[in-house]
Amino acid sequence: MTIGIIPGRMEASRFPGKPLADILGIPMIGHCYLRSRLARSLDDLVIATCNEEIREYAQSIGAPCIMTSADHPSASDRIAEAMILRENETGTRHDIVVLIQGDEPMVYPDMIDAAVEGLKKNSDAQVVNLIALIESLEDFEDPNEIKVVTDNRNRALYFSREPIPTRKKGVLDVPMRKQVCIIPYRRDYLIKFNETPRTPLEIVEGIDMNRALETGHIVQMVPTDRVTNSVDTEADLREVIELMRDDELRNQYSRKSDR
């Protein structure tokens, strides 16, 4: 059984309240849920939050919502608690737990399906990330974009907010690729991952996937051609609103007039 969990909290430092930010008549976390539930690979899908406002919205659209602690340091901690609470609630044990970021309102269901399939096909991997091409030098140098380099089997070697591999040695045509944050974990590894102390390279880079690499685990990367935009600021929100006006998938779940 595979469960998708969308974490969301109102206290984001750069954009407080962003899970409920309006995008063409639907709050951002609503787009994440309504799009994710179209994924064929998910047997269950819930929103995980510590905020009553988000719970009330989830109820209004019929989305299962798990109330979690407000003290979680990361999304992986929040989804682990939500997974256990959901298992206790339903009596169903999950084999795969998919972290679907609540600030990625342009997520496509086939991205989720590809990530889950990647974990099922790679039995020695404990976790999967999607990987996409970076289209511009500006994005390659942007510390908000998490860059990744891989081996010849698309297994992650290292994650960084710096431009990797470097272009400073005179080779300008380097592979520029980034992490896309749909992350399926094997259930028991998710619990083990959260019990493992933060590692030095994770702390230096501010990227928790380095914890998996530093402790000897395989992070399998699965390529995607989809272009999505995360929302970290109000400027990001304005850009996503314009991109989603003509989005065909939105028309499958929304009949409201654009605002």
Q: How far apart are CA 23 and CA 239, in angstroms?
A: 10
Query: pLDDT tens-digit profile of 123-142?
Result: 999 999 999 999 899 999 99
Burial of 142 (0-12, 13-18, 19+ CB in 10 A): middle
Mean pLDDT of 190-212: 95
pLDDT at 121 over 80: yes
pLDDT at 99 over 80: yes
Query: pLDDT tens-digit profile of 37-54?
Result: 999 999 999 999 999 999
> What integer pLDDT is reported at residue 89 of this predicted model?
95
Q: Which residues, 6 or more positions from 28, have their beta carbon under 8 angstroms from its beta carbon?
A: 18, 19, 20, 21, 22, 102, 103, 105, 231, 237
**Least-confidence region, from 29-33, 67-71, 88-92, 196-200:** 67-71
> What integer pLDDT is reported at residue 255 of this predicted model?
61
Instruction: Find the farthest-apart pair of alpha carbons in the chain and give their distance in angstroms, rounded.
Output: 57
- Note the pTM of the prediction, 2 decimals: 0.92
| SS3 state at 158 | strand
Burial of 69 (0-12, 13-18, 19+ CB in 10 A): exposed
Query: pLDDT tens-digit profile of 211-240?
Result: 999 999 999 999 999 878 888 889 999 999
Mean pLDDT of 144-163: 96
How confident is the prediction for the chain on average, in pLDDT?
Answer: 93
Q: How far apart are CA 45 and CA 64, in angstroms?
A: 7
